[in-house]
Structure 1
Amino acid sequence: MPIIEFTAPPLPHYIISGLSHAEIGGKHPSRQNIGAFDLLVVVQGCLFLRESGHDYEIKEGHALILRPDSQHYAYAGCLEETTHYWLHFQILGDWRVIDEESYYHSQWKSVSEDRPRHLSLPPFSTTSYNVALPQFTKLAQPLKMGEIINELTQMNQNIHLASVRLKQQALFQEVIVLLSSSLGTSGPSSQTVCAERAASYLREHYRDGFSAKQLGESINFHPVYIARCMQKVYGCSPSVYLINLRIEQSKILLLQTDLPVERIAEEVGFNHAAYFTSCFTKIEGLSPRKYRQRFAWDKE
């Protein structure tokens, strides 16, 4: 399977992203030499694409990177309703496409032969390094990938703010890390499966009251094990993940509706508006009302 390898710095640069839905028989657009990489992440259904003589069936939980210098087209229509994230990015430095055998051989060679070169580097020097991305892969953490791309897409509405553009580029590097970590994996670990199931449940029931016991019963894992897995995969406990999720949902309502803060708190699962304001301020650095004033000034 082809591997896209690039030299960093510079790091890949995020351009734009979105979510697309295709009915039965629908096809991904045919393009050639578009000048940017196009990452496709399927969350439901399957896309059928051909590029450079390779046929790809991009099923749920899989990702494909379409190259900027090639032609790609759909060799078949969707057999079921299909939803996928798409993300355009650019690599401004050197990059190449190699096969897996050549990549792993070069990795072994660099370890066995090139190690002494680093001994003669001057202090505080900047050295380049190679990053490898699987062109087609089953993602180790598909839900987390979808969450990041969704957040990147939501940030586009405030792209006129330099601080948002900077945060967007920093967040996009997590996409690169997730893609790179999927290289050579045989599938998600049991801990990742547990964490993703818990996250899926919380995303579906974020408006409801939280109970570690109920979460465990719903996804058939012990609450202590769930907490351990989510800490490893997402860096936080289920309760903290839920609060952050509720805050993200509240930000959408603050920007897209005129609902009062107290009502928004209820809509996203907080029983008390004061606690919602406290959590929001701690995470975002400003209150819900000030957040609305800063980013939704044109509604007034």
Structure 2
Amino acid sequence: MSSPILHFITPPIPYFIDCGRAHYDAGDYHISRNCIGVFDLIIVKKGILPIAENDLQWELKEGQFLILRPDAHHYGFAPCPIETEIIWIHFQTFGSWKECQDMNECLDNQSELIENHKQKAYLNHCDVCSIFIPKHMEISQKAMEVLEFFFQLEQEPQSMRNWKRQASFQQFLQFLDRDLAEASDATAIQLAEKIELFIRQNYTREVTNSLLQKELNYHPNYLAKNMLKIYGVTPMGYLLSYRLEQSKRLLIQTSWSIARIAEEVGFHHITYYSSCFSKKEGISPSNFRRKFTCK
């Protein structure tokens, strides 16, 4: 995959703002704009659109899309050679994001980006994950069908139109995310997601590498290799992190004792739980609770 990748952390999922169509006659230029504050997703329906972002240039052809950054200079570097029609969508995100050159760079920076994300939003007890969107790619037929639905909603009342557009935009992003996965290392992603799902569904049990091998029918070394590639941690590292995240929920949402919370999320010894929690969060479970609850 030669296109750069926009790496978003969610929740919240990047959200839809506005959309429209634009028409260019041969000889017309795309408008020049600087730091517009939103992501600008452009899909060419017909023709060719020469467009640049800072010093990078593309000639978008029919059926291709490009996502322009909210913090860059966008402009037409040459006139459209033929009559051209585009669809544009503006969207933004509250969470952390980063443009990477390839999937390896995305995965190398994933842990750091997630930690930064948690500092920007109240996500002390929330599971987060990555969305990978190609910056420039051919658009699939399924994604295009969702796009057309945006414009069919013009006949809806405003309140219903806004709800449906948000839902459709999320479905559209999901197609882009999946299309990229199919074009990259789909096997590693699928296996890592199976490991992650099994751990989330069984984290209160005695989960071991041997159990994962039995359930998923792969050697522990192969499972660890795929989890490291996609999530940046081994299965056991993910299990520990997930248990700690679930304990945060219980610390904030219940009045249970620290010992009971440790047991509920799969720790057999409160001292080990407290040590792991303090090492990861920088404070003890009891002090974490005091930060977010009234005495």
TM-score, normalised to structure 2, is 0.52
Aligned to 1:26: 28
**d(CA) in 1 for partners of 2:157, 2:70:** 24
**d(CA) in 2 for partners of 1:104, 1:160:** 38
**d(CA) in 1 for partners of 2:133, 2:145:** 19
Aligned to 1:99: 101
Instruction: Report % sequence identity.
Output: 34
1:153 is paired with a residue whose SS is helix
From 173, 177, 197, the equivalent of 1:176 is 173
Aligned to 1:78: 80
> How far 1:171 moved relative to its partner?
1.0
**d(CA) in 2 for partners of 1:104, 1:6:** 10
TM-score, normalised to structure 1, is 0.52
Distance verdict in 2 for CA 1:95–1:159, change over 3 Å: farther
> How far 1:164 moved relative to its partner?
3.1
> How far 1:2 moved relative to its partner?
2.0
Alignment of 1:1-300 (within 5 A): 1-100=3-102, 102-103=104-105, 105-106=107-108, 126-139=126-139, 141=140, 143-158=141-156, 160-161=158-159, 163-183=160-180
Question: What's the CA shift string for 1:228-279, capped at 9, x where partnerless?
Answer: xxxxxxxxxxxxxxxxxxxxxxxxxxxxxxxxxxxxxxxxxxxxxxxxxxxx
Counterpart contact for 2:49–2:59, Cα < 8 Å:
yes
Counterpart contact for 1:2–1:99, Cα < 8 Å:
yes
Letter in 2 for 1:22: Y
1:57 is paired with a residue whose SS is strand
> Cα RMSD between the aligned structures?
2.5
Unaligned 5+ residue runs, structure 1? 111-124, 188-300
1:168 is paired with a residue whose SS is helix
Letter in 2 for 1:175: F
> How far 1:36 moved relative to its partner?
0.5
Counterpart contact for 1:87–1:149, Cα < 8 Å:
no
Distance verdict in 2 for CA 1:136–1:16, change over 3 Å: same
1:182 is paired with a residue whose SS is helix
> How far 1:158 moved relative to its partner?
3.5
Counterpart contact for 1:43–1:61, Cα < 8 Å:
yes
2:158 is paired with a residue whose SS is coil
Distance verdict in 2 for CA 1:184–1:130, change over 3 Å: closer
Distance verdict in 2 for CA 1:47–1:70, change over 3 Å: same
> How far 1:185 moved relative to its partner?
5.5
**d(CA) in 1 for partners of 2:135, 2:71:** 14
Question: What's the CA shift string for 1:137-165, capped at 9, x where partnerless?
Answer: 122x1x4333322321332453532x332
Counterpart contact for 1:26–1:78, Cα < 8 Å:
yes
**d(CA) in 2 for partners of 1:74, 1:88:** 18
Counterpart contact for 2:100–2:106, Cα < 8 Å:
no
**d(CA) in 1 for partners of 2:20, 2:152:** 9
Counting matched residue pairs gives: 170
Unaligned 5+ residue runs, structure 2? 112-124, 185-295
**d(CA) in 2 for partners of 1:104, 1:35:** 23
